[in-house]
Structure 1
Amino acid sequence: MLVPDFPLMAYAAAVEPLRAANTLSGADLYRWWHAAPGGGPARASSGIAIPTDVAVGAAAPGTDRVFVCAGGNPAAFDDPALSAWLRDLARSGAVIGGISGGPYFLARAGLLEGRRCTVHWEHVPAFEEQFPEADVVRSLFEIAGNRVTCSGGTAALDLMLHLIGRDHGPGLATGVSDWFLHNRIREGLSPQRMDLRQRLGVRDPRLLRVLAAMEANLEAPLARTTLAALAGVSVRQLERLFADGLGHGLHRHYLGVRLDRARQLRRETALTAAQIAAATGFAGADELSRAERRRAAGTAARQRTAEARDRPEGP
């Protein structure tokens, strides 16, 4: 099931291992069909269109697994007909799965209540706000009985290799992995994101402890003294660690993390401005708006400075 603006990377990572399993085994182990809300070709976020051959709501006899692949802003796409069809397929005995933003559609259909599941890290804050009854973890993929969820991207390749191994043995799964130059099949519980050391290029363990605490405390931001205590240094020393390790101060970094989360929530949820402000540690919508305007102005000023610096001098 391809929802408009689905991520082509995740789709290909899910389908290509099945094709490879057929090729390497010399047998027709897997067959698949495509469907899309509203019918017609399904267009990926890159603009590439995939023809569909099954209508939403149609009988799908012999279907073992159904995966919803979605990206963009899945919270904004609500299709009651799709939800009803997923429930019907689940009742018929099919395993129902979601890839990248696809778990949104499973949750909206009531298929993830009390289930352990995952979703792309970018969607997690909004997903948790909208579906508190789901047990969300930040893993690559989760298999919870007849529900399968995957965070998307290349994690879909690891999920399919795992399923191929379960269906037809680890030898075939390893062969498919080798064929795609994928030299390590990751476990489902592997983390989605690089750790902070790699993501921010930070090595100092004191600074890493503070950065992790910041990301974990956005609704009620921690005081500078609390963060300094976590690092085991004074506030002045902590400011120096930020300047040396990241090139900017503690306040600017913490504010940036909170504003990034606010932007995510605004893009992916129907939360009000006041609710988004509360979820990211601002006193109200006005304070959040002022902070966003200040950051935009600061970014524009730094861009102008960089352009002036790089501009060639006249004769």
Structure 2
Amino acid sequence: MPPSDTNIALSDNPVPAHIGFLLIPDFALLPYASAIEPLRAANRLSGRDLYRWSHISIDGEPAQASNGVAIAADAGLDDGLKLDSVLVCAGGNPALFMHQPTFAWLRQQARRGVRVGGVSGGPYLLARANLLKGYRFTLHWEHAPAFLEEYPDLDLRRSLYEIDRERLTCSGGTAPLDMMHALIARDHGSELALAVSEWFLQTHVREGAGPQRMPLRERLGIAHAPLLRVIGRMEQTIESPEPREALARLANVSLRQLERLFRQHLGRSLGEHYLRLRLDRARDLLRQTSLSVLEIALACGFANASHFSRSYRERFGHAPREERRRG
């Protein structure tokens, strides 16, 4: 265990920063832990209370994570905590969270000058509270399709984390380790931040602008560069699928050769892969939004609801409306 009297230069502020963790029911445990543990480590390694924290739930009762673990709350929304920062921890399906007192509380914190942030699905709630207009931000890639349908004009980035003035947003998973490294470095210097990262066995601290997802090469196990270029374009153009001929030109091969590459590396045709991408996106929207079946069909490149429903049933074994009922 590292000694508590590590010789690290620190800022002169003797008052620990008070950070509130607002735990939304069904929050994701890993990003929460990745955000709070670096604060504990910073205190331990510096030998000083640089940070203190409180757990907040919407009703003051224990908050249950998505894996069933419950964390006792120190306060509810009405308990008048004085905070320097608040981080909203959310997971599950944040698109369905419609608790107006929570949004009002977040706006109140922002008006008081509190630094407001969110991890994983938390930024979705910041948008609902109208706290992200004019800021760049990020959230977990799983929630991005539903979010963009609801908030197409906000500045969503597909990055690991974003720190834009008094807004802190993070995509989730282990990315809060990287974001907290940046915050600790800003508050107390890079020496302490590096010591914290090393304590958590981070051999590489990622930049905020880094990608959330694995590169296609690793994700699909494919090394064929032209084919990967085509698949990347397909993932970017789900709403308005590109003609097959345009994709073949992108790969600089004939359409017949491109079809052969899809069969060889993915075991399905180009058209079948495009359809799979569109139906996967549709399933996310059915689960995460209240858009109508027709609106989702159009958002995923289908000409009409009947074609969409037929294709959906063939892929998943049930109709889109049944998917929503199950959700």
Q: Shorter-normalised TM-score: what interval?
A: over 0.9
Q: Distance in 1 between matches of 2:304 and 2:88?
A: 37
Name the aligned partner's letter for residue 23 of structure 2: L
The equivalent residue for 1:302 is none
Q: Is the 8 A contact 1:57 1:81 kept in 2?
A: no
Q: Distance in 2 between matches of 1:133 and 1:2?
A: 27
Q: Distance in 1 between matches of 2:312 and 2:149?
A: 22
The equivalent residue for 2:86 is 66
Stretch of structure 1 that moved more, 52-61 or 80-89: 52-61
1:16 and 1:257, CA in 2 relative to 1: closer, same or farther beyond 3 A?
same
Q: Distance in 2 between matches of 1:115 and 1:180?
A: 30
The equivalent residue for 1:202 is 222
Name the aligned partner's letter for residue 215 of structure 1: E
1:109-258 equivalence runs, <5 A: 109-258=129-278
> Does 2:298 align with 1:272?
no
The equivalent residue for 1:32 is 53
Shift of 1:126: 1.1
Q: Distance in 2 between matches of 1:289 and 1:52?
A: 44
The equivalent residue for 2:42 is 21
In the alignment of these two chains, the number of paired residues is 297
Shift of 1:132: 2.6
Name the aligned partner's letter for residue 189 of structure 1: A
Q: Distance in 2 between matches of 1:96 and 1:133?
A: 20
Stretch of structure 1 that moved more, 221-230 or 274-283: 221-230
Shift of 1:265: 0.9
Shift of 1:181: 0.7
Give the secondary structure class of the aligned counterpart of 1:34. Answer: strand
Q: Distance in 2 between matches of 1:105 and 1:296?
A: 30
Aligned alpha-carbon RMSD (Å): 1.2
Give the secondary structure class of the aligned counterpart of 1:260. Answer: helix
The equivalent residue for 1:303 is none
Q: Distance in 2 between matches of 1:58 and 1:130?
A: 32
Higher strand share: 2
Q: Is the 8 A contact 1:114 1:133 kept in 2?
A: no
1:297 and 1:129, CA in 2 relative to 1: closer, same or farther beyond 3 A?
closer
Q: Is the 8 A contact 1:66 1:97 kept in 2?
A: yes
Q: Is the 8 A contact 1:161 1:176 kept in 2?
A: yes
The equivalent residue for 1:313 is none
Q: Distance in 1 between matches of 2:90 and 2:101?
A: 16
Deviation beyond 4 Å, 4+ runs, structure 1: none
The equivalent residue for 1:101 is 121
Deviation per residue, 1:232-277 (Å, 9 max, x gap): 1111111111111112221111111111100111111111111110
Listed as ranges, the gaps of 5+ residues in structure 2 are 1-21, 319-327
Q: Distance in 1 between matches of 2:95 and 2:60?
A: 20
Q: Distance in 2 between matches of 1:296 and 1:91?
A: 47
The equivalent residue for 1:51 is 72
Shift of 1:58: 2.8
Q: Distance in 1 between matches of 2:304 and 2:79?
A: 47
Name the aligned partner's letter for residue 12 of structure 1: A
Deviation per residue, 1:23-67 (Å, 9 max, x gap): 111111111001112330000000000000111133222x11100
The equivalent residue for 1:91 is 111
* TM-score after normalising by structure 2: 0.89
Name the aligned partner's letter for residue 55 of structure 1: G
Give the secondary structure class of the aligned counterpart of 2:41. Answer: helix
Q: Is the 8 A contact 1:57 1:82 kept in 2?
A: no
Shift of 1:297: 4.8
Give the secondary structure class of the aligned counterpart of 1:31. Answer: strand
* TM-score after normalising by structure 1: 0.92
Name the aligned partner's letter for residue 24 of structure 1: L
Q: Distance in 1 between matches of 2:31 and 2:314?
A: 36
Q: Distance in 2 between matches of 1:159 and 1:51?
A: 25
Deviation per residue, 1:133-163 (Å, 9 max, x gap): 3200100011111111110111111001110
Listed as ranges, the gaps of 5+ residues in structure 1 are 299-315
Q: Distance in 2 between matches of 1:121 and 1:170?
A: 29
Q: Is the 8 A contact 1:2 1:42 kept in 2?
A: yes
Q: Is the 8 A contact 1:8 1:46 kept in 2?
A: yes
Deviation per residue, 1:270-304 (Å, 9 max, x gap): 11111110110011222111111111359xxxxxx
